[in-house]
Amino acid sequence: MLSIKKWKPGDTTNLLTLTMLRRNIFLVLVLIAFVFSEAQSQVYNMNNSSVNTCGGTFYDSGGNAGNYGNSQNFTMTFCSSVPGNCVRLLFTSFALETNFDEMTIYDGPSAASPLIGVFTGNTSPGLITANSGCLTVVFTSNGLFNEPGWAATISCVNCATGTCATNCNGGPPPANDACTGAQNLGLLPVPAACPGGIGALSVTNTTNLCATAATPYSSLLGCQPGGNMASPAADVWYRFSITGPSINISISGGINTPNVGLYEGASCAGLIPRGCAIGSNGSLNTTFGGLASGTYYLQVSGDNLADQCDFTLTLQNNYDCAGCVIQSTLVANPPPVNGSYPAGQSVTFCYTVSDYNQTSANWFHGVVPSFGAGWDMSTFTPAPVADCSGDGTWSWYPGNITSSATGNVTGPGFYYESPLEIHSQLLMVIREIISETTMAPITATGHFAGPSIHFLRALVYRVRI
């Protein structure tokens, strides 16, 4: 508390005291502002440590301006500094050497905690929220190359409980209870241009309270990280459009076991399944890639008809800046009806790449189709497509293919063969086999479970010797 006497003309002592007080107040205010600013702009570079915080920015070991280093193996844990809150990481940029440098995130205070996901290349983790209060991040890099790394904003939110504080109490179902009433979220924010490739978040506070299950009930099989979507369950639907080939989906709130199913299509008639995922303990974080620009439907439910509550749905559309495929389409003939086919139906799938990202000698190399258990694989008839450039041929290889550089085993699948000239001053090193390229028409018979397309790419580097 400050006490200042009233100044009177000719009273130099009081004037000096007042002036000094004003200077002291100014200095205190400047000091407080400086300390507050420093707390708000705290920077955490990747290292072996544990941090209690609810703010700041998390970078790779190179910080804001540099790349991370080679041969790194760091484990860093972030815990909430606010009791009852859980820490959250929002990745605003992400670039690792694909398949060689990896970030692994765990939901808890150590690498023994439940796994959230493993991320490499430009597949950003997006928005990651802890259930336990802490997130543990493990980063490893090899000894050859490095990339710009990442930046993530740190914050804290109320922890998801997986227990709903409210219930339906016989109320009406939500307006988006069925696919035909899907809530239109519009065009998701367009991702930034590569090499960043990250889109802004689209956040929707929503609910599946009082939702009902349609008859027959549509659900997908073979979900991330394993299992099938609940059927039946209290599901709600959302509709949106994307421009980038990757979408990150995050759910947090009172739904105990979030389930999501992603479908492509302009309307509910003839939707084509694109993947599904199952969360736990009130949260879910998953990424679907290899998507064409256009309209998608998202089905969200709990694990059964009673798993209902308010929740927050966060969507983020991203570019895959390290990937080959930029624009592609998958056509099923005939299209499914409400996401399924009757038994005995023959279906032809044709996957077409209309635009891809060639960086240096980054060429298409192969594709491996994968089908659900409902397909009769004895009817499978591969049909390799003609080469666009005339420099090689596409062929179907019925056995496994082993990379001579990495030892990765893929196949059966379609692979591309062409002559490759090796100059005496250049060493052609095939460094990695990852997912992304093109697919020929194929035929299969049985119940439609949604084939997953695993794209394949060979990165060829020229190194002077």
**CATH number of the domain residue 56 falls in:** 2.60.120.290
- Return d(Cα 406, Cα 431) in angstroms, integer: 7
Note whether 300 and 392 are same-domain residues.
no
Of 269, 285, 318, which one is at a domain's C-terminal end? Answer: 318
- Residue 411's region, left for phi above 0, alpha for psi from -120 to 50, else beta, is left
Q: Given a cut of 60, is residue 82 above it in pLDDT?
A: yes
- Return d(Cα 235, Cα 219) in angstroms, integer: 10
Q: Is residue 80 part of a domain?
A: yes
pLDDT band for position 429 (cuts 50, 70, 90): very low
- Return d(Cα 111, Cα 183) in angstroms, integer: 38
- Return d(Cα 332, Cα 270) in angstroms, integer: 10
Q: Given a cut of 70, is residue 102 above it in pLDDT?
A: yes
Note whether 130 and 221 are same-domain residues.
no
Q: Is residue 163 part of a domain?
A: no
Note whether 357 and 383 are same-domain residues.
yes
Non-local (6+) Cβ contacts of 281 within 8 A are 107, 131, 160, 162, 256
Q: Given a cut of 80, is residue 29 above it in pLDDT?
A: no
pLDDT (mean) for 66-90: 93
Note whether 330 and 396 are same-domain residues.
yes
Reference 396, options 364, 446, 439, 436; nearest CA is 439
Of 106, 129, 158, which one is at a domain's C-terminal end? Answer: 158
In this prediction the pTM is: 0.59
- Return d(Cα 417, Cα 399) in angstroms, integer: 16
Q: Domain tally for the chain?
A: 3
Q: Given a cut of 90, is residue 60 above it in pLDDT?
A: yes
pLDDT band for position 3 (cuts 50, 70, 90): very low
pLDDT for the residue numbered 30: 38
- Return d(Cα 438, Cα 386) in angstroms, integer: 12
Count the neighbouring beta carbons within 10 Å of the beta carbon of residue 2: 6
- Percentage of residues in the chain with pLDDT exceeding 90? 39
Reference 315, options 151, 158, 175, 205; nearest CA is 205
Q: Is residue 88 part of a domain?
A: yes
pLDDT for the residue numbered 228: 95
Strand partners, 333: 348
What is the domain-level CATH number for residue 237? 2.60.120.1050
Note whether 369 and 438 are same-domain residues.
yes
Q: Is residue 167 part of a domain?
A: no
Question: pLDDT per residue over 370-412, tens digit each?
Answer: 777 777 888 888 887 777 666 778 888 888 887 654 566 777 8
Note whether 259 and 209 are same-domain residues.
yes
Note whether 154 and 193 are same-domain residues.
no
- Return d(Cα 255, Cα 46) in angstroms, integer: 33
Q: Is residue 29 part of a domain?
A: no
Note whether 385 and 358 are same-domain residues.
yes
Note whether 389 and 411 are same-domain residues.
yes
Question: pLDDT per residue over 285-304, tens digit each?
Answer: 899 988 889 999 999 999 99
The backbone torsions φ and ψ at residue 119, rounded to the nearest 5 degrees and listed phi first, read -130, 140
User: Which of 27-31, 41-45, 149-153 shows the highest mean pLDDT?
Assistant: 149-153
Question: pLDDT per residue over 307-337, tens digit each?
Answer: 999 999 999 998 877 655 556 677 888 887 7
Q: Is residue 50 part of a domain?
A: yes
The token pair that represents 408 in the structure block: 């990765």
Of 271, 296, 318, which one is at a domain's C-terminal end? Answer: 318
Note whether 198 and 296 are same-domain residues.
yes
Domain membership of residue 127 as a residue range? 43-158
Top pLDDT among 213 and 415 is at: 213
Note whether 61 and 138 are same-domain residues.
yes
Question: pLDDT per residue over 123-174, tens digit each?
Answer: 788 888 888 889 999 999 998 888 999 999 999 888 766 567 677 877 899 9
Strand partners, 285: 250
Q: Are the beta carbons of 92 and 195 closer than 8 angstroms?
A: no
Q: Is residue 172 part of a domain?
A: no
pLDDT for the residue numbered 325: 59
Note whether 244 and 314 are same-domain residues.
yes
Q: Is residue 299 part of a domain?
A: yes
